Amino acid sequence: MSVDSLPASQQHSSLSFTEGFLLGQLSVVVLIGAFIKFFIFGDPPSPETTASTRALARRNQDGPHKRSFSINSSPSVAHKVDIRVPSSGILRHPPRLTTPIILSKTYYNVDAHQPESLDWFNVLIAQTIAQFRTDAHQDEAILTSLTNVLNGSQKPDFLSSIKVTEISLGEDFPIFSNCRVHPVEDGSSGPDGARLQARMDVDLSDMITLGVETKIILNWPRPLTAVLPVALAVSIVRFSGTLSISFLPSASHLAPSSNATHPMPLQQPLSTTPTSLAFSFLPDYRLDINVRSLVGSRSRLQDIPKIAQMVEDRLHAWIDERCVEPRVQQVVLPSLWPRKRNTRGPASEEGEGLGLKTVDPIRDVREEARREVEEERSNNREYRERETAAGVAEGLRWRSKTEGGGYEMPGAMPM
């Protein structure tokens, strides 16, 4: 039975099904081609356009609440209580040092002072970074740490073990410049006046690289349905922005009470917050990175723009959530009071005439630790002797004196 002998209605329906099937297949092919071309292999925007767009988005997002979570409105400062302990008059109190008085005594005019270059600070930072790079190359501690962090509990289930293939800590150093001091404008100034904040420009042009290898595992509809090897290398090419630094002074506030019936006792303990250094970056910072990717095992796709955009967005989000205003990072400052155990340098001249002898720092630390251990042992020995003496006295107290002048233990047999 030929096609010509079929009725006209059946021929029309057969042609309509064929045309619809071909049209559907063609639509799927066009959609897949458009997705691959514009979504995967599309040209990314220029770094200038991306940086300006991100800065504008951060300003719009943090604009209404930019200063609501500033470094002056931290919980430790918000609950600050003015504790005035009566003194005996031996320690004389100097006049109250407000911000204008501090500026006048240091001859600094926030309105007319020229920005500083910070050349000395750049040298110190460069020496610190150089020592860090030298220590990192001597052992593989940084490799072990990065491997443990990448394969930690936050690793997604669809990724196999992540292997670090390349680490480059760079060769250049950040340059700080244009430092200026000005009062913090957040409306939370206290009786001493607005606190001071230092802002400086920082610029780093280097090649800091981290390369990793892993596999994307497809576990649906059954485990290990497909495995896709992925190699990724992320390089920080340039970072520039404005760094804000401010000191958070120590504050004393009332500690929360654990008694529900009496939430405010008469003698409530005080809690002291140590002095800390707060730093953050302004939202208009710029971060240029270079992402190299390789997807597949046999027919590999190289440098997919969409992967680079996803990595860049994730890196920017990581920085924004930690140290971009209004969020800050606080570092507790150690005590700067001079101590004997922290002293390094030539030996003392007592008993050695005028000869100077260089002290080995490691040996000095060991001797200090040995002295501390011996002191602790001596204290423990004295404590045990006191306990023993107290036990003997307690035993004698329970003895009773008999008529014959002797002592009798409780519960003893009668004589």
The one-digit pLDDT tens for each residue of the chain (415 residues) are: 454 555 655 556 666 778 777 888 888 888 887 777 666 666 666 667 777 777 777 767 665 444 444 444 444 444 444 445 555 567 777 777 888 888 888 889 888 889 999 999 999 999 999 999 988 888 778 898 899 999 988 888 888 999 999 999 999 999 999 999 988 866 555 566 778 899 999 999 999 999 999 999 887 777 778 888 999 999 999 999 999 999 888 776 555 555 545 554 445 555 677 888 999 999 999 999 999 999 988 778 888 888 898 999 999 999 999 999 989 999 988 877 888 877 877 765 544 444 444 445 555 556 666 776 677 677 667 666 766 665 555 554 444 444 444 444 444 444 4
pLDDT in the model for residue 230: 93
Give the separation between CA 244 and CA 182, rounded to whole angstroms: 10
Which residue spans within 133-195 are E strands per DSSP? 163-168, 175-183
| CA–CA separation, 378 and 383 (whole Å) | 9
pLDDT score at 374: 76
Angle between helices 305-323 and 47-62 (to 10 degrees): 40
- CA-to-CA dists, residue 157 to 82, 308, 311, 350, 373, angstroms: 52, 22, 18, 66, 48
The Cα 311–Cα 39 span in angstroms is 15
Q: In percent, how much of the chain has pLDDT > 70?
A: 64
What confidence score (pLDDT) does residue 180 get?
93
List, for residues 89-143, the tens digit of each pLDDT value. 677 777 778 888 888 888 898 888 899 999 999 999 999 999 999 888 887 788 9
The answer to whether the beta carbons of residues 326 and 59 sit under 8 Å apart is no
pLDDT of residue 124: 96
Q: Please list the residues that pair with 252 across neighbouring strands.
A: 272
Would you state the pLDDT for residue 38? Answer: 67
pLDDT the model gives residue 257? 52
Measured from the Cβ of residue 70, the count of other Cβ atoms closer than 10 Å reads 22
Q: State the pLDDT at residue 219.
A: 79
